[in-house]
Amino acid sequence: MRFRSFFFSSSIFSLSHSRSPSLSSSRFSSLSAAMSPALEKSRQGNGGCNDDSKSKVTVVGSGNWGSVAAKLIASNALKLPSFHDEVRMWVFEEVLPNGEKLTDVINKTNENVKYLPGIKLGRNVVADPDLENAVKDANMLVFVTPHQFMDGICKKLDGKITGDVEAISLVKGMEVKKEGPCMISSLISKQLGINCCVLMGANIANEIAVEKFSEATVGYRGSREIADTWVQLFSTPYFMVTPVHDVEGVELCGTLKNVVAIAAGFVDGLEMGNNTKAAIMRIGLREMKALSKLLFPSVKDSTFFESCGVADVITTCLGGRNRRVAEAFAKSRGKRSFDELEAEMLQGQKLQGVSTAREVYEVLKHCGWLEMFPLFSTVHQICTGRLQPEAIVQYRENKL
Ligand SMILES: NC(=O)c1ccc[n+]([C@@H]2O[C@H](COP(=O)([O-])OP(=O)(O)OC[C@H]3O[C@@H](n4cnc5c(N)ncnc54)[C@H](O)[C@@H]3O)[C@@H](O)[C@H]2O)c1
């Protein structure tokens, strides 16, 4: 199925290939001999891969969540007749300690040994270190990298995406431009000229990788048809996806909850207990809702009760990496920097909450809203050493 492209953005800031469906022979030779029957069929040219009516999916990103997203999509692409079997995954190339390239290892072992060790991605996933080549001919692009790299990726792809292409962003974060905040889905839409949905939710990647039941929310604008297609592409019996007509609300939930997770980590590091943590989660959710609605008046209250809202706040404050690193930061009484702890504890994976806290602070300052959002502004000031971690409970909540 192919789609017509459309996009628009509405906020108070007015923010506003012939990819061979069959793989090149060298790439094929790098895959192991035990190829899936579906991929073998496509290699022989009788797998329907030359059928232009089928959607071709490329996953842009291959970290922890990127690899799990590729696994989910790959299992569905093999089952659904409207998709090509092959799923490309763009890999930011890295050389592993044994001297091998990550891309080669993924194609040889079918495993992302650095970011998702021990999990087979599906033999129809093909890792490609060449961004342009990876997206060439794809008409469904799944963006899933840490948000700080998205501007550079969009610039590299500028002018390279042609035809009816649809995108979805799994990226949690925002860019702050001088005109105001720019959500990642808007960045993709504006820079590449394509419509972009979002998928967010209570999704700790390692749990979905081992097929523990989870839910997610697809945020869309315009026609429901494309949202249903993304839902179909991601859904499995253990991953239940619900569409919501509210891109900005869904994306802001996914973005802002990382700041709340940092606050929850401070509470854990200071051993303040469950009541305090519950209070921080409630205040955080309230600030998420208030800021989302100030930025985008169209945001719906009901979105905060979807997986992308309250459920993601809960999971990320109980188990996510932002919480974990913030806990270590508070335990060190701020003597160890987030950069140092991120490098030591995450080994290549990226924290999003600290940079999002800075970006949110810039927006609040720019708009004169700092006092209305004491939790968000306090988190940034603790991260930058201006306040001690204990300050996370030393403010009076403003009633919005
Ligand atoms: N991991 C999770 O549990 C999870 C769950 C839901 C959403 N997310 C979101 O998904 C997005 C991607 O996170 P992830 O967990 O897949 O990544 P990650 O933090 O596990 O990995 C970092 C990735 O960035 C890549 N990278 C490093 N330098 C780069 C550069 N200069 N340019 C481009 N890429 C570079 C690395 O190769 C690696 O693929 C983030 O926005 C995150 O918030 C993550």
List, as one string, the DSSP characters of 145-189. S-GGGHHHHHHHHTTT--SS-EEEE----EEEETTEEEEHHHHHH
Q: Is the dihedral of CA 293, 298, 302, 306 positive or negative?
A: negative
Helix, strand, or coil (residue 236): strand
Using most ligand atoms within 8 A of CB, pick from 60, 62, 64 the residue to mutate for ligand 1.
Answer: 64
Phi–psi pair at 211, nearest 5 degrees: 65, 35
For 242, the 3-state DSSP assignment is strand
> Which tokens go with 355?
């940079």
pLDDT of residue 397: 63
Mean pLDDT of 86-112: 97
pLDDT greater than 80 at residue 180: no
pLDDT score, position 43 = 39
CA 357/CA 292 separation, integer angstroms: 14
Q: For position 52, what pLDDT does the model report?
A: 75
Which SS3 state, helix, strand or coil, does residue 35 take?
A: coil
C-alpha dist (Å) from residue 367 to 12, 287, 371, 373, 397: 11, 15, 11, 12, 19
Q: Report which residue type is found at 188.
A: I
Q: Is the CB of 31 under 6 A from ligand 1?
A: no
Q: Return the pLDDT at 268.
A: 98
Q: Where in the chain is the domain with CATH 1.10.1040.10?
A: 255-391
Distance from the alpha carbon of residue 62 to the mean position of ligand 1, in angstroms: 7
Q: Closest ligand 1 atom to the C-alpha of 346?
A: 19
- Tell me: the pLDDT tens digits for 264-288? 999 999 999 999 999 999 999 999 9
> How confident is the model at residue 396, as a pLDDT?
65
- Judged against a pLDDT cut of 90, whether residue 313 lies above it is answered with yes
Distance in Å, CA 33 to ligand 1 centroid: 30
Q: What is the pLDDT of residue 109?
A: 97
pLDDT digits (tens, 9 = 90+) for 187-229: 999 999 999 999 999 999 999 999 999 999 999 998 899 999 9
Q: How far is CA 265 from CA 84, 134, 216, 335, 358, in A?
A: 42, 37, 23, 16, 17
Which carries the bigger pLDDT value, residue 51 or residue 220? 220
Predicted pLDDT at 162: 86
- pTM score above 0.75: yes
Q: Could you tell me the pLDDT band of residue 10, with boundaries at 50, 70 and 90? A: very low
The contacts of residue 287 (CB under 8 Å, 6+ apart) are 256, 260, 373, 375, 376
DSSP code per residue over 120-139: B--TTEEEES-HHHHHTT-S
| Average pLDDT score over residue span 142-169 | 95
Distance 285 CA to ligand 1 centre (A): 24
- Which of 43-52, 114-123, 149-158, 298-307 has the weakest average pLDDT? 43-52
Query: Is residue 121 scored above 60 in pLDDT?
Result: yes
**The pLDDT value given to residue 175:** 84
Confidence of residue 42 (pLDDT cuts 50, 70, 90): very low
- The CA distance from 76 to 83, in Å, is 8
Q: Which residues define the annotated binding site for NAD(+)? A: 61-66, 92, 149, 205, 321, 350, 352
Please report the atom of ligand 1 found closest to the CA of residue 349. 19
- Give the pLDDT confidence score for residue 347 in this predicted structure: 87
Angle made by CA atoms 171, 153, 243, in degrees to the nearest 5:
30
pLDDT of 25 > 60? The answer is no
Q: Which residue has the higher pLDDT, 158 or 42?
A: 158
63 touches ligand 1 (CB under 6 Å): yes
CA distance 104 to 57: 20
CATH superfamily, domain at 255-391: N-(1-d-carboxylethyl)-l-norvaline Dehydrogenase; domain 2 (1.10.1040.10)
Q: How confident is the model at residue 335 (pLDDT cuts 50, 70, 90)?
A: confident
Q: Which of 230, 217, 196 is nearest to 82 (CA)?
A: 230
SS3 116: coil
Nearest residue by C-alpha to atom 26 in ligand 1: 92
**What is the number of the ligand 1 atom nearest to the C-alpha of 205?**
3
Q: 248-259 pLDDT, tens per residue?
A: 999 999 999 999
Task: Point out the residues that are catalytic.
Answer: 257
Cα torsion at 22, 25, 27, 30 (round to 10°)?
Answer: 130
Alpha-carbon gap, residue 372 to 167, rounded angstroms:
34
Cβ atoms of 364 and 373 within 8 Å: the answer is yes
For 118, 159, 164, the CA distances from 110, given in Å and listed in that order, are 10, 32, 30
Beta-bridge partner residues of 176: 181
Ligand 1 close to Cβ of residue 205 (< 6 A): yes
Q: Which of 51-55, 63-67, 137-141 has the lowest mean pLDDT?
A: 51-55
d(CA 199, CA 230): 9
Question: CATH 3.40.50.720: which residues of the chain?
Answer: 53-245
| 134 has a pLDDT exceeding 60 | yes
Ligand 1 close to Cβ of residue 144 (< 6 A): yes
For the Cβ of 171 lying below 6 angstroms from any atom of ligand 1, the answer is yes
Pocket flag, ligand 1, residue 148 (CB < 6 Å)? no
Mutate to test the pocket of ligand 1, among 135, 145, 316, 352 (most ligand atoms within 8 A of CB): 145
For a pocket test of ligand 1, which of 65, 90, 251 has the largest count of ligand atoms closer than 8 A to its C-beta?
65
53-245 topology per CATH: Rossmann fold (3.40.50)
Establish whether residue 115 lines the binding site of ligand 1, counting it when its CB lies within 6 angstroms of any ligand atom. Answer: yes
Contact between 109 and 72 under an 8 Å Cβ cutoff? The reply is no
CB 168 within 8 A of CB 197: yes
* Ligand 1 lined by 65 (C-beta under 6 Å): yes
In 284-360 the beta strands, taken as DSSP E runs, fall at none
Annotated binding site: 61-66, 92, 149, 172, 205, 321-322, 350, 352
Place of tokens 């869309």: 220
- CA–CA gap between residue 25 and residue 15 (Å, rounded): 44
Q: Report CA-CA distances (Å) from 203 to 105, 308, 312, 322, 372.
A: 26, 9, 7, 13, 29
- Mean pLDDT for the stretch of residues 301-325: 97
Q: Taking 90 as the threshold, does the pLDDT of residue 77 lie above it?
A: yes
Task: Give the chain's mean pLDDT.
Answer: 88
**Which pLDDT score is estimated for 237?**
97
